[in-house]
Amino acid sequence: MGIIEIRDLSLTLNGVQILKNVSLDIWDGHIHALVGTNGAGKSTLASTIMGLEGYREVTGDILFRGENINTLSIDERARKGITFGWQEPARFEGVSIFDFVSAGISSGKQDDKETITKDALIQLGLQPEEYLYRSVDQTLSGGERKKIELASIIAMDPPFIMLDEPDSGIDVGTLEKMNEVIKKLKRNGTTILLITHSLAVLRQADHAFLMCDGQIIEKAAASKIIPYFEKNCIPCSHKNMPNKVGAL
Amino acid sequence: MNSDESIKKSLSRASGITQDIFANKDVAHLFIHHDKVVSLQGVPGLIIEPREIPDGIDLQIRLKKNTVVANPVHMCFGLMHKEGIQRINMDITIEDRSSIQVLAHCTFPIAEKIQHLMNATINIGKHASYSYIERHIHGESGGITVVPKATIHLQDHARYKTDFELLKGRVGRIDIDYETFCGPYSVLEMNAKVNATHTDIVHIKEKGHLNGEHAHGVLLSRVAVRDDATAEVYSELTASAAYARGHVDCKEIVQDNGVVSAVPIVKVNHPKAHITHEASLGSVDSKQLQTLMARGLDEEKATDLIIQGLLR
């Protein structure tokens, strides 16, 4: 049984069917990638799993550890152990990095809040004394903001994490730091779903789901999906119009 | 302990002012309760002359030329009663090349039917700097009306910064009206932060006239409105000289049955002047809210954190 099971999931937005009978299993403790070109439906699928606004009117089932979570709100899903890191994280005028990063720490760990928050920042190469009381606002660079997003997820310590385009807008050094953190999370037993069209990110994954036009057209080891995606999807002239199901 | 001492202690406790400022001869302070001066201490170069009038105080403040006051001056205007009127008429002169920071504590912790009326005329001399931070502490009944009015003149290279905060307790009714005239190379910064709940009523009217070349000005307001509260923010910035630069920035968050309106007016009367404005009104930003909810905060806690940040 997967930590997440998706069964025949479909979503229609403004009369357009975005997700088409998606089914997949995400296995506990593994790194998965949801890969596809722009507009394939990757971020939409992750948004339905998180239950974001506008992505809740689905047909089919989303199961977390065997329990149907379709009707749960975002925060209820989060408290069960699901979270999501945005491609372009929101900025919060006046909210300190300490308050933001520590927001998701569970009630049972409140006594260690400061230590957990500092440790999460250090893992991303951010010095607490420099960052802790700055605001999560426009004064942070895009890369810094992405690191703080991931730090808040580390501090929350959920069993299942979705990261949408984790490499977008960041430099090579920051990407290496993020990759290290992702590997460490896996070693600690966290299940990760990377939403990406980047080969550098895809290479971090154990397994991959290839998406095209709102459908999962292949599920396999990442090592098998990578060459197919690189050869066929990246240069594809008919993006999101798959001419066959079963790519490999 | 005499009654002045007792009131001074009560006011400072309610205002969150530590007692050690009274023992420090390098820290000037002025404590006014209703229409009575209960404590006053000056520092060299700073002349504070209060005159008691019915229901209030006429206050002359003069900072002599070339005087830099190192420590913030604490002023406390308050009423430890449930009812009453307090009028503060201030005439402030900051002479050339002098500098001062004032922390004003307006403290009405048990107000049920109180009016706090302030009229100020402020003149800031050449190359002088005046910073005025006004923090209000109100009770929970909402029975208070606060009407601060000020006219400020900045000479060339003068700097004026004001931060108005009404974040603790009920607003009641507030009607701010500030107008500033800015000379060449002067810098104006007016910030107002108000947290309105229940049936509170907020009116903020700020005007800045960037009349001198290279004058710079920013008008910033942050208002959170919940329950049945209402807020109107009128921000007007005019640039009438070469290289005058300004920005108007208004953000208002509305919850429940609250109603807000913002009127940013920017006027440019010179081809080499430039003013920008930004206004955002409405509910809490959806992406911010969902980000915090995705970390497990329920909607109410997430909203509180966002609003606390906005008003910080």
Q: What is the pLDDT of residues B221-263, one digit of tens each?
A: 999 999 999 999 999 999 999 999 999 999 999 999 999 999 9
Chain B contact for A159, CB < 8 A? no
Range(s) within chain A of domains with CATH label 3.40.50.300:
1-81+158-248
pLDDT interval class at A239 (50, 70, 90):
low
Residue A248 has pLDDT above 70, yes or no: no
What local confidence, expressed as pLDDT, does residue A243 receive?
Answer: 58
Chain B contact for A48, CB < 8 A? no
Convert the pLDDT of each residue in B119-155 to its tens digit: 999 999 999 999 999 999 999 999 999 999 999 999 9
What local confidence, expressed as pLDDT, does residue A238 receive?
Answer: 62
What local confidence, expressed as pLDDT, does residue A246 receive?
Answer: 54
pLDDT interval class at A247 (50, 70, 90):
low
Chain B contact for A108, CB < 8 A? no
Residue B1 has pLDDT above 80, yes or no: no
3-state SS class at A133: coil
Angle at B288 between CA B310 and CA A155, to 5 degrees: 100
Residue A45 has pLDDT above 90, yes or no: yes
d(CA A116, CA A136): 18
Residue B153 Cα distances to A58, B186, B234, angstroms: 61, 10, 20
Among B74, B73, B88, residue whose Cα is nearest residue B15: B74
Residue B111 has pLDDT above 70, yes or no: yes
Among A10, A24, A20, residue whose Cα is nearest residue A60: A10
Query: What is the chain B residue with the closest CA to A149?
Result: B291
| Yes or no, beta carbons of A94 and B310 under 8 Å apart | yes
| Yes or no, beta carbons of B308 and A95 under 8 Å apart | yes
What local confidence, expressed as pLDDT, does residue A241 receive?
Answer: 66
| Yes or no, beta carbons of B295 and A152 under 8 Å apart | yes
Give A99's contacts in chain B (Cβ within 8 Å).
Answer: 305, 309
pLDDT interval class at A38 (50, 70, 90):
confident
pLDDT interval class at B162 (50, 70, 90):
very high
Q: How far is A188 from chain B (nearest CA, A)?
A: 19
Residue A245 has pLDDT above 60, yes or no: no
Alpha helices in chain A (DSSP H): 42-50, 74-80, 97-102, 113-123, 128-131, 142-156, 172-187, 199-202, 222-228
Task: Report yes or no: A108 and A186 within 8 Å, Cβ to Cβ.
Answer: no
| Yes or no, beta carbons of B290 and A53 under 8 Å apart | yes
pLDDT interval class at A37 (50, 70, 90):
confident
Residue A178 has pLDDT above 60, yes or no: yes
What local confidence, expressed as pLDDT, does residue B2 receive?
Answer: 66
pLDDT interval class at A2 (50, 70, 90):
confident
pLDDT interval class at B3 (50, 70, 90):
confident
Query: What is the chain A residue with the closest CA to B292?
Result: A103
Every domain of chain B and the residues it spans? 3-284
Give B296's contacts in chain A (Cβ within 8 Å).
Answer: 75, 78-79, 83, 103-104, 106, 156
Residue B11 has pLDDT above 70, yes or no: yes
Partner residue opposite B290 with nearest CB, options A74, A96, A156: A74
In percent, how much of chain A has pLDDT > 70? Answer: 95
Once rounded to an integer, what is the mean pLDDT over residues A92-118?
95
What local confidence, expressed as pLDDT, does residue A175 receive?
Answer: 85
| Yes or no, beta carbons of A94 and B294 under 8 Å apart | no
Tokens of residue A138, six digits: 């426009």
Q: Is residue A66 classed exposed, middle or buried when 0-12, 13-18 and 19+ CB atoms within 10 A define those classes? A: exposed
Query: How many Cβ pairs within 8 Å bridge chains A and B?
Result: 66
pLDDT interval class at B309 (50, 70, 90):
very high
How does strand B201-210 pair with strand B230-239?
Answer: parallel
> Which DSSP category does B55 fall into?
T
Chain B contact for A90, CB < 8 A? yes
Convert the pLDDT of each residue in B166-206 to its tens digit: 998 999 999 999 999 999 999 999 999 999 999 999 999 99
Give A152's contacts in chain B (Cβ within 8 Å).
Answer: 295
Query: What is the chain B residue with the closest CA to A101?
Result: B295
What local confidence, expressed as pLDDT, does residue A242 receive?
Answer: 64
Architecture field, domain A1-81+158-248: 3-Layer(aba) Sandwich (3.40)
Q: How far is A165 from chain B (nearest CA, A)?
A: 16
Convert the pLDDT of each residue in B14-46 to its tens digit: 988 888 888 899 999 999 999 999 999 999 999
Query: What is the chain A residue with the closest CA to B302?
Result: A103
In percent, how much of chain A has pLDDT > 90? Answer: 79
d(CA B165, CA B311): 9
| Yes or no, beta carbons of A78 and B296 under 8 Å apart | yes
